[in-house]
Amino acid sequence: MSAWAPRRFWTEARAEPAPGGYTVTLDGRSVKTPAKAALVVPTLALAEAIAAEWQAQEQVVDPQAMPFTRSANSAIDKVAPQFAEVAEIVAAYGDSDLLCYRAEAPASLVAQQAAAWDPLLAWSAEVLGAPLATRAGIRHESQPADSLAALARAVGAQSPFELTALHDLVALSGSLVIGLAAQRAAWPAEALWQASRIDETFQRALWGRDEEAEAAEAAARAAFLHAARFHALCLA
C-alpha cells in the first residue's frame, strides 16, 4: 500500500504581514505548523522563501522539497518550546570542538588542519572572546571555563529561529566555532563547510572515492548551506 500524501488544493501562496512577523497564506488561509501553531516568521524575506516552496508544489506536496518550511516548523514547534535545552546541547560542542583536535601525523594533514583551523580559532578568541586550546589526538581535555561561558552566551542570545540554524550548522560541521562563524558570515559558508571536512578530504585522497560516502557528504553539505541561508533570511 502506498503512503498517503497531501495534495495541492491552493492556487496562490503569498507572504503576508502577521502579528509578530510574517506568515504564508494559501488562497488567503494562513499556513499552520505540524503542531497546529501559526506559521509566523521574523522577516518578509523568509516568508517569501517559504511561500515560493508552497507555490512550487505540484499535484502532490513533497515536504522534502520544502527546506525553509521544515526549518521554520522546527523553530516554532521544537526549538522555541525547549529553547534552554537546545541551547545547552549546542553550547556543549564548544568543549569538544572539531577545530581543537589535531592529527599528530602525517605532516601534510597536520599542515592542512593548521592552515584551515588556526584562523578560525583566532577569530573565536578575538571576536567571541573565547580562546580555545588545541590538543594532539582525540583524548578530551576541557577548555577554559571563561571561553565556554562566552560561547554559551553567544548561543543563548539567539532567537529560536537563529538557534534552529545554528543547531544544524554545528551538528553538521562538528564545530561550534564554525557554526557561529557561518552565522556571522565571517567566511563564506562553502569555505566553512570545506574546513569542516579536512579529515574526510584527506582520507578520500589517500584511499580513493566511495560513492555511498560521497552521496552522504553531498546531502550534509546541502543541509549546511541551507542552514546558513535560513539564518541569513531570518535577519534579512
Residue-wise pLDDT tens digits, 167-218: 999 999 999 999 999 999 999 999 999 999 999 999 888 877 778 888 999 9
Q: How far apart, in Å, do the first and last CA atoms of the chain sit?
A: 44
* 49-64: average pLDDT: 91
Could you report the per-residue pLDDT of 143-157, keeping only the tens digit for each?
999 999 999 999 999
What is the arithmetic mean of pLDDT over 61-89? 96
Domains and CATH numbers, the chain: 13-65 (3.30.2180.10), 82-235 (1.10.3580.10)
Q: What is the pLDDT of residues 108-123, one digit of tens each?
A: 999 999 999 999 999 9
What global pTM score does this model have? 0.94
Cell of residue 168, nine digits: 544544524
Reported confidence tier of residue 2, pLDDT bands at 50, 70, 90: very low
Cβ count near 94 (within 10 Å) = 26
| Average pLDDT along the chain | 94
Dihedral sign from CA coordinates of 57, 62, 67, 71: positive
